Amino acid sequence: MTSAQDIRPRKDELAAQAQYYSTSPNASFHSPSSHGSALTRTIPLPNAKHLKPFATEDIKVLLLENVNQTGRDILSQQGYQVEFLKSSLPEDQLIEKIRDVHVIGIRSKTKLSARVLKEAKNLIVIGCFCIGTNQVDLQYAAEHGIAVFNSPFSNSRSVAELVIAEIIVLARQLGDRSNEMHNGTWNKVSNGCWEIRGKTLGIIGYGHIGAQLSVLAESMGLSVIFYDVVNLMALGSARQVETMEALLGEADFITCHVPELPETKGMIGPKQFEQMKKGSYLINASRGTVVDIPALIDAMRSGKIAGAALDVYPNEPAGNGDYFNNDLNTWGADLRSLKNLILTPHIGGSTEEAQSAIGVEVAQALTRYVNEGTTLGAVNLPEVALRSLTMDEPNHARVIYIHQNIPGVLRKVNEIIGDHNVDKQMTDSRGDVAYLMADISNVNTTHIRDLYTSLESLPSRIQTRILY
């Protein structure tokens, strides 16, 4: 397949365009969202393979929280203006920064609430360079045509390896012995220290992380059982159990790998600790609200739980420093006082390999969305994609219309684009929001301007973009 190109208007069309655009001879139409404004422009890159919806040097990208260099490079190579900050920002500062950006990349600490997104007049897409998206108001973003992408699988191996390490450290009480040696105390003991071979690992949530962990654990001699809300094919000799109660009563080591949902909040609480075997161990590398930490403190003090490892917490600091205290979580000091407890600062996916892979995956999703309108992998919009336009299709344009999912919209849209040859078209809906993409041929810049104006006038419109 040959590469795509931008439509270049004839010289006699440039004067007509001048009244609409300030500098670029290649204008692209884009309404950032129903709370945003106006038009932007595009300059084609030499030998461009994909459509360019803006002048690439006019695309403003804000990357927060030390997004990996791989992602920064991909976005910079597109010619975008990329601003990079190592930390998150307080909400008021974030609002000031986000007002004129088209793309924002964040990790887990930045909170994109409705209040923040309301001020993002030009924003079309959010990249979460992490697994979770709970830090973004997904509903508000969808209702205003802002796509959200994440990287749900790239750090699976890193998290699985951390859990394996924690299982061994807990079984041998290595954390306590190391702390004692650092304080000058020699305490050679074997009481309560175990090999992991022959023990049972219970995995709650058998997704990508849970499945990888299952394979690693079996190779080290652990028997694996798992509980999930859906029936899944077990890997190796792992066995799915029907209830979480059955898992808790059988497992020596229990590890949580579930998303943050209303039904998973406090999923491991006093009742569940009572159901566990005496002397068992708990590991949570999923989300901080999954485990009732005061209940864990009580279970460890009573001796019911022999050890635990936590990588996530209900409230986490926005940056590095001496913040893990009672001001952040009221039980902080009580938790830190426990023996055989591993506390890590949300580093499950913090390896060079994972962050590099996340940077590539999310940055590529962002550029595909900005340049082509493809929503494959979006967590809050319908997944729609069309094959790329090529050099053999010089006078084509791609129409993207994000709209309210109400009766009669497609008829009105097709009445507008129906005067042109529609080469391909796809539409899908997700809840109250629908996403339409169509490639039309034999158009010039006047046609495109008229199409844009007509689509923008429809009452169902959330966002209109025309790429060419």
Residue 26 dihedral angles phi and psi, to the nearest 5°: -115, 100
The per-residue pLDDT for 175 is 97
d(CA 398, CA 384): 13
User: Which is it for strands 461-467 and 26-30: parallel, antiparallel or unpaired?
Assistant: antiparallel
The per-residue pLDDT for 8 is 33
The per-residue pLDDT for 13 is 37
Name residue, tokens 């927060």. 64
The per-residue pLDDT for 131 is 87
Is-catalytic flag, 372?
no
Q: DSSP assignment of 10-31, as one string? A: PHHHHHHHHTT-SS-SEEEEE-
The per-residue pLDDT for 31 is 66
Tell me: the pLDDT tens digits for 355-390? 999 999 999 999 999 999 999 999 999 999 998 877
The per-residue pLDDT for 132 is 86
Is 426 exposed, middle or buried, given 0-12, 13-18 or 19+ CB atoms closer than 10 A? Answer: middle
Per annotation, catalytic residue among 346, 396, 420, 461 = 346
The per-residue pLDDT for 15 is 35
Tell me: the pLDDT tens digits for 138-164? 999 999 999 999 999 899 999 999 999
Tell me: the pLDDT tens digits for 83-94? 999 999 999 999
Confidence band for 400, pLDDT divided at 50, 70 and 90? very high
d(CA 256, CA 159): 11
- For residue 68, pLDDT over 50 is answered with yes
Segment 418-437 mean pLDDT: 94
- Listed range (40-49, 67-76, 138-147, 349-358) with the worst mean pLDDT: 40-49
Is-catalytic flag, 102?
no
- For residue 45, pLDDT over 90 is answered with no
Segment 414-438 mean pLDDT: 94
Per annotation, catalytic residue among 172, 177, 257, 287 = 287
Mean pLDDT in the chain?
88
CA dihedral (324, 325, 327, 328) positive or negative: positive
The per-residue pLDDT for 34 is 54
Is-catalytic flag, 396?
no
Percent of the chain with pLDDT over 90: 78
Per annotation, catalytic residue among 218, 316, 383, 393 = 316
Tell me: the pLDDT tens digits for 186-243? 999 999 999 999 999 999 999 999 999 999 999 999 999 999 999 999 999 999 999 9
Q: For residue 134, which of 340, 4, 32, 287 has the smallest C-alpha distance?
A: 287
Q: What is the DSSP letter of 277?
A: P
Confidence band for 268, pLDDT divided at 50, 70 and 90? very high
- For residue 2, pLDDT over 50 is answered with no
